[in-house]
């Protein structure tokens, strides 16, 4: 039985969904709607389309209007209505925000609505493809100040999500200040859903090898959690601590799969105004995990 509303530690009053209204939209909106129903949240569907003057010149000619023949805004309105009807979202408080603008500008406008959570999907671009077009997902979570829930291309648990609570939450930390806010969300969500909280620390130095003292490292992780839980110690009761050695992004994804986690929670450094260029070149552990994880990834930015 889930924790009652009055006893919950986490509130998501408004959930924004950033969607291109194409490939992953139905899966993403369905998942966001299931969260909105459970938390009693308002659902804000957000779509941005590029101004004609700012569109990149394609290698082959493309039509000015969408395939429907309608102007972009009207086409988006029809798609959102069709999606709302198909997913039966009429029981939710749902609003739409459709703008002819850039991602950065629409995020500024969304910020004025003070969302508690932003949900989006990523195509998981890597290598040359990511360098050429960047990653909207990474640009978003490095720009905004709210938690971002990302559904990666391999996310396989979203279909059952509407009827299923979180059972295992994996919190990955490097025991730095960046991951402190993420700890509050991981422990709070675990408490609210009566889920198993698994805390993971991955030692990235491969030179340690077999000399890595797991017992000491695990004790250090347990002490760090107790020192920083900040009034939410009850949420740590029954938490399971794990330590490992290797490339953090790879091992976090592997451990999440081994533990059959329903959610991975990690912190990320925000880059503010340079987040757009950074999404092309930095990559980073948070982005790598969101691309490869088989379950949703909640990325919690470090407060500015």
Instruction: Decide which of 100, 121, 142 is a domain's last residue.
Output: 121
Co-location of 189 and 264 in the same domain: yes
Whether 138 is in a domain gets the answer no
Co-location of 168 and 292 in the same domain: yes
In this predicted structure, the answer to whether residue 58 has a pLDDT above a threshold of 70 is no
Length in residues, the chain: 304
Whether 51 is in a domain gets the answer yes
Co-location of 98 and 30 in the same domain: yes
C-alpha 92/C-alpha 41 separation (Å) is: 8
Whether 259 is in a domain gets the answer yes
Contact status, residue 139 vs residue 103, Cβ threshold 8 Å? yes
Co-location of 172 and 283 in the same domain: yes
Co-location of 44 and 108 in the same domain: yes
Q: What is the DSSP letter of 146?
A: S
Instruction: Decide which of 71, 95, 121 is a domain's last residue.
Output: 121
Co-location of 171 and 270 in the same domain: yes
pLDDT in tens, 266-293: 988 754 443 433 332 334 688 788 888 9
Alpha helices in 87-229 (DSSP H): 103-112, 127-133, 136-143, 180-192, 214-228
Whether 67 is in a domain gets the answer yes
C-alpha 66/C-alpha 51 separation (Å) is: 13
3-state class of 274 per DSSP?
helix
Instruction: Decide which of 121, 148, 181 is a domain's last residue.
Output: 121
Its domain, for residue 281, covers 161-301
Co-location of 97 and 205 in the same domain: no
Dihedral of alpha carbons 227, 230, 232, 234, sign: positive
Classify residue 22 as exposed, middle or buried by CB count within 10 Å of its CB (0-12, 13-18, 19+): exposed
The arithmetic mean of pLDDT across residues 35-63, rounded, is 72
pLDDT of residue 257: 95
Whether 42 is in a domain gets the answer yes
Q: How many domains does the chain have?
A: 2
**Per mean pLDDT, which range of 143-147, 175-179, 229-233 is the poorest?**
229-233
Closest CA to 99 of 56, 139, 64, 47: 47
Whether 102 is in a domain gets the answer yes
pTM metric for this prediction: 0.83
Q: What angle do CA 165, 200, 146 make, to 5 degrees?
A: 60
3-state class of 9 per DSSP?
coil
pLDDT in tens, 68-119: 667 888 999 999 999 999 999 999 999 999 999 888 888 889 999 999 999 9
Co-location of 101 and 205 in the same domain: no
Co-location of 20 and 115 in the same domain: yes
Co-location of 179 and 73 in the same domain: no
pLDDT in tens, 123-151: 655 543 333 334 566 667 667 788 999 88
Whether 197 is in a domain gets the answer yes
Co-location of 34 and 115 in the same domain: yes
Q: What is the DSSP letter of 295?
A: S
More confident residue, 205 or 244: 244
158 — pLDDT class (breaks 50, 70, 90): very low
Co-location of 94 and 181 in the same domain: no
pLDDT of residue 178: 85
Whether 150 is in a domain gets the answer no
Q: Kindly report the CATH number assigned to the domain that includes residue 205.
A: 3.40.50.620
């Amino acid at each position: 039985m889930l924790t009652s509303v009055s006893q919950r530690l986490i509130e998501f009053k408004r959930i924004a969904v950033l969607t291109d209204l194409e490939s992953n939209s139905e899966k993403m909106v369905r998942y966001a709607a299931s969260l909105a129903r459970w938390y009693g949240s308002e659902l804000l569907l957000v779509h941005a389309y590029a101004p004609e003057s700012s569109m990149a010149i394609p290698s082959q000619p493309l039509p000015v209007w969408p395939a429907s023949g309608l102007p972009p805004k009207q086409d988006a309105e029809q798609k959102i209505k069709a999606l709302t009807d198909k997913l039966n979202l009429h029981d939710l408080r749902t609003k739409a925000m459709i703008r002819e603008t850039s991602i950065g500008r629409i995020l500024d406008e969304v910020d004025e609505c003070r969302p508690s959570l932003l949900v989006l999907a990523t195509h998981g671009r890597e290598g040359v493809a990511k360098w050429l077009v960047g990653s909207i997902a990474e640009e978003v979570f490095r720009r905004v100040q709210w938690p971002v829930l990302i559904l990666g291309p391999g996310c396989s648990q979203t279909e059952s999500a509407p009827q299923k609570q979180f059972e295992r939450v994996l919190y990955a930390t490097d025991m730095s200040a960046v991951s402190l806010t993420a700890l509050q969300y991981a422990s709070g969500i675990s408490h609210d859903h009566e889920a198993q909280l698994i805390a993971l620390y991955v030692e990235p130095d491969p030179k340690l090898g077999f000399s890595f003292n797991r017992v000491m490292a695990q004790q250090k992780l347990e002490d760090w959690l107790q020192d920083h839980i900040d009034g939410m110690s009850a949420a740590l009761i029954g938490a399971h601590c794990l330590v490992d050695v290797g490339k953090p992004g790879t091992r976090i994804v592997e451990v999440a799969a081994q533990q059959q986690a329903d959610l991975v929670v990690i912190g990320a450094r925000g880059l503010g105004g340079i987040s757009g260029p950074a999404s092309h070149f930095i990559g980073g552990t948070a982005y790598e995990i969101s691309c490869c994880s088989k379950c949703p990834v909640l990325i919690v930015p470090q407060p500015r």
